[in-house]
Amino acid sequence: MHSPSGMELAALATLLAAVPAVAYLGQSGRRHTGAARRAHLLLAAGGALTTAAALAGLASAALGGHHHQTAHTRTLATMVAIGMGIGTLTLLAGTVALPGATRGPAAALRHVLDGLVISAAIWFVGWVFISEPTRILGDATPYNCAAILLPAVLVSLALGLTTVLALHAHRPRRNTVRVSSGVSVVAIAAALLSTGICRQDNGFALSSVLILTAGLIMVAFAVRAADRPVEVTGDVLERGGGYVVVPMFAIITALGHHLAMGGVMDVYGYFGLAIEGLALVARQYLALDDVRRYTTQLRQREAHFRQLAHTDPLTGLANRRGLQQALLRSDRDNAVLIGIDMDGFKTVNDMRGHDVGDSVLTEVAARLRRNLLDGDVAARLGGDEFAVLMHGDTDEAMLAAHRLLAVLGEPYEVDGGSIFLSASLGVADTGELLHDADLALRYAKQRGKNRVERYQARYDELLRRRGTLQGELRHAIDRNQLRLVFQPVVALPSMRPVGAEALLRWTHPELGAVRPDEFIPVAEESGLINRIGAWVLEQACRQLAEWLAKGHDVWVSVNLSPKELHNADYAAQVADVLAENDVPPQRLVLEVTEHAVATDMEELVRRLAELRETGVRIALDDFGAGYSSLTQLRTLPVDILKIDHALVAEPESRTGTAAPLVDVVVRLGHRLGLEVLAEGIGTTAQREVVEEAGCRLGQGSLFGWGVPAEHFETRLRTLLPVGPRPIPAPRAIPSSDAPARSQVVRLGPGMRQVRALLPSDPDFGKSRSDQNVGSVDSGREMGQG
C-alpha cells in the first residue's frame, strides 16, 4: 500500500460532491408516483452506480499501489468501465422513461433505434478520426486500452439519444434535453476515468471526476426544473426527417475520406457500419409497420366517417345522403319510395321538450326497422321526416304504406305518458322518386293528414296552386276577400235555432271560391292561422253582439286551431275581444278537434282551463273520429261533445232504430255532465236516430247550410217572442273542483230525461228538485246563460 497523491485525494474529494445530487434524485423519486416516480428512481440508481464505480476505481487506484502494474491497471479500468457503463445505461433508461420524453413503449423503442442510427454514425466518424491514417489524437490514441470501448459506445449512444430527444421529445424538450445532456456528460466522464486509470494518468482521472460531478448535478437540476408547470410544445419531427439523412451522409463522407487517405477497415469500423445497418433496417421495419397500422386506421376512420356521413346520428337510420346512395345502387324499375312525415310532431317538441321529441323519433325509427324486409332501406331525412326505399310493385308498396300508417299511429309511451301522433305517407314508384314521394306526402298532409297518397302527375299542378294560395292568402284580409257564414245549431225535437257555427269562406277574384279544406292547411303551415283566427274571432263576436242587441237568444261557436290554442296569451286575447264587443262569455263556444287533444294532454288541459276561466264554453269537435278516451273526457275541461258525422251516418242496428254508437256517446256525455251535439245530420232518419238517443242539439244540412249573417238573422227574426223576454242571468265563473249535478227535464207530455248540469250552468245553484222547464227551445234552457 502506498500513500495517495494530492491529485488523487482531490479527485476523491471532488467525487463526494456528486453524492447530494444523487440523494436529491432519490428524494424526487419518492415524491412522485407512476411513470415520473419510476423515471426518477432509475436516474437516482444510475447516478449512484456511476458514483460508486468511480469512487471504488479511484480508491483502488490510489490505495492499491498498482501504478506500475499494467495488467492490474487494465483490469481495474475494465471493472470501472463496466460499473460506470451499467450506471450510464440505467441513466439512459431513466431518461427515456421520463414523462413526455416518449409517448409509450413503442415510441421509446423508435427513439432508441433513431439514437442508434445517430450513435453509429458518431462512432464511425470517431473511428475514422482516431484510426490510421488520420489518427487525430496521435500518440494519445487509446488503442492499447480496450477498457474504454464500452464507455465510448455509451458516449455515442448518449449523444445520439440526446439528439433524438432534442428533436422528438413531446414534453417541453428543454428540460428533457438537459437530463439527456447530463447523462451524456456522465458517459464522457466514464470514458475519461477508464482511460485515466488504464493509462495511469492522474490528470485524466481528476478531469473525469469533475465532469462526472457536473453531469450528475446537471441531471438533478434538470429534474427539479421539470417538476414546474410549463407549456407543452409539439413534435419537431412532424416537420421533417433530416435527422436520418445527416448520419448517413456523415458516414459516407467519413468512409470516403478514410479510403481516399489509404486507410483500411478494421473490426471497429465494421462494428460501426453493422450497427448503423441493423438500426436502419430495424427502424425501416418499424416504419413500415407504422405505415401499415396507420393505413388500417385511416381506412377504419374513413369507413367510420363515411358511415357517419350517410347515417343519422340520432336514429341510426340512413340520412338523406345515404338514401341517395341507396337509390343509385337500386334497380330503378323495381324501386318504390315511401315518404313519411309525423303529423303534429312540432307540438311535441314545443310542449314536452326536445328530449321527449328525440325519444319519439327514436321509437319511430325502431318501428320502421321492425317492419322492413331484407333489402329495404329506412332513412331519416331531417326533423320528423322519414323515408323507406323498398323493392316491389305499386300494390305491394301501398300495402306496406298502410301497414306503416297503422304502426306509426299507435301511442308512444315516453317519459311516463302517452303521446298520440299520426303520420302522412306519400308513395312514388316512377320518375324522380325523392321529388315525387315528397309531392305525394305534401298532398297527403294537405288532404287532412293521417293518410297514404300515391304520386300522380297532377300533384305538380296542385303544388303550384298551393304556392299561389299561400301568397294570395297573406293579403286576403286586407283585400276583404274573407267572410263568415253561419250554420244553424238547432234544439231537438223542435228544430228551433239556438246557436250557429261561424265558418270561414274565401272568395278570390281570380281563383274563385277556395274551399276551406284547401286553404286552412295552407294557413296553418305558413303561420297565417293565428292572424286569420284572430280575425274570425273578432268578426264572430261582433256579429254575435249585434244579434244579442236585437234580442236574439243565440250563441256562436268558433273553430280553434291547435296553433292558436297553444298560443300563451290566447285566453287574454279572447277575453279582450269579448269585453270590446260587450258579449257575455257564455254566449261564445270555442271548438277544439280531437287531433289537438292527441298532442299533449297535460298542456291542453291547462290551456283549456285558462279559456274556461274567461267564461266561454269549450266544445270537443269530431268526437268519435279521433283519439279521445274515457280517461281524457274525465280530465278535459269541456262542456259540449260534438258527435262526428261518421257516427251519425252509421247504419242502423238490428235491435233498434238508434245507431248504437250515437246512443253510447249521448249516454256517456250526459253521465259526464256534458251537453251533446250531433253534427252532420242530413236526413230525417238520421234526425230521428239522434232524437231517439236523447241528443238535444243537432247540426247539419237538414237544418241548413252555412249562410250569410243577414240570412241567418232573418230566420231568427221569425222566432222573436211577442212579449218582452227576461234578460238572462250572467253565467257564474265555474269552480275548478265542483262536481256536476243533474236535472230532470220534461221533453213533452209523458217524456222526461235526466240532464247534466255543469258548474257553469246558471241553474247549477238552484234546488236539486225536479224542474219543469217545458220545451228546450231557448238558448237559456240549453245552459247558455
pLDDT of residue 12: 65
Separation between Cα atoms, residue 136 and residue 124, nearest integer Å: 14
Are the C-beta atoms of 268 and 131 separated by less than 8 Å? yes
Q: Give the contacts of 388 (CB within 8 A, at least 6 positions apart).
A: 337, 338, 340, 368, 372, 376, 377, 378, 379, 400, 404
DSSP H helical ranges for 566-721: 570-581, 594-597, 601-613, 630-635, 645-648, 660-671, 684-692, 709-717
pLDDT of residue 597: 59
- pTM of the predicted protein model: 0.49
Give which of 783, 764, 439, 402 is closest to 587, Cα–Cα: 783
Q: Which of 224-238, 327-341, 601-615 has the lowest mean pLDDT?
A: 224-238
Query: Cis link prior to 99 (omega < 30° from 0)?
Result: no
pLDDT of residue 171: 57
Query: Cis link prior to 133 (omega < 30° from 0)?
Result: yes
Q: How far is CA 73 from the centre of its chain?
A: 77
Q: At 627, is the pLDDT very low, low, confident or very high (cuts 50, 70, 90)?
A: low
Are the C-beta atoms of 414 and 353 separated by less than 8 Å? no
pLDDT of residue 765: 43
List the grid coordinates of 750.
Answer: 209523458
DSSP H helical ranges for 169-266: 173-198, 202-226, 242-260
User: Averaged over 489-503, what is the pLDDT?
Assistant: 94
- What tens digit of pLDDT does each residue of 391-450 get? 888 889 999 999 999 999 999 998 778 888 999 999 998 878 998 999 899 888 877 789
- What tens digit of pLDDT does each residue of 370-384 get? 998 888 999 999 899
User: Residue 498: phi, psi to the nearest 5?
Assistant: -120, -10
User: Averaged over 675-687, what is the pLDDT?
Assistant: 92
Are the C-beta atoms of 564 and 597 separated by less than 8 Å? no
Beta bridge partners of residue 424, listed in sequence order: 341
pLDDT of residue 228: 57
- What tens digit of pLDDT does each residue of 383-406 get? 999 999 998 888 899 999 999 999
User: Averaged over 272-278, what is the pLDDT?
Assistant: 85
Q: Which of 58-62, 454-458, 525-529, 665-669 has the lowest mean pLDDT?
A: 58-62
Residue 239 pLDDT > 80, yes or no?
A: no
Separation between Cα atoms, residue 344 and residue 626, nearest integer Å: 14
pLDDT of residue 406: 94
Q: How many residues make up the chain in this entry?
A: 785
pLDDT of residue 125: 87
CA angle 296, 297, 303 (to 5 degrees): 90
pLDDT of residue 619: 93
Beta bridge partners of residue 486, listed in sequence order: 502, 707
Q: At 227, is the pLDDT very low, low, confident or very high (cuts 50, 70, 90)?
A: low
Residue 571 pLDDT > 90, yes or no?
A: yes
User: Averaged over 23-38, what is the pLDDT?
Assistant: 80
Burial of 495 (0-12, 13-18, 19+ CB in 10 A): middle
Residue 615 pLDDT > 90, yes or no?
A: yes
Q: Which residue has the higher pLDDT, 51 or 168?
A: 51
List the grid coordinates of 234.
Answer: 409539439
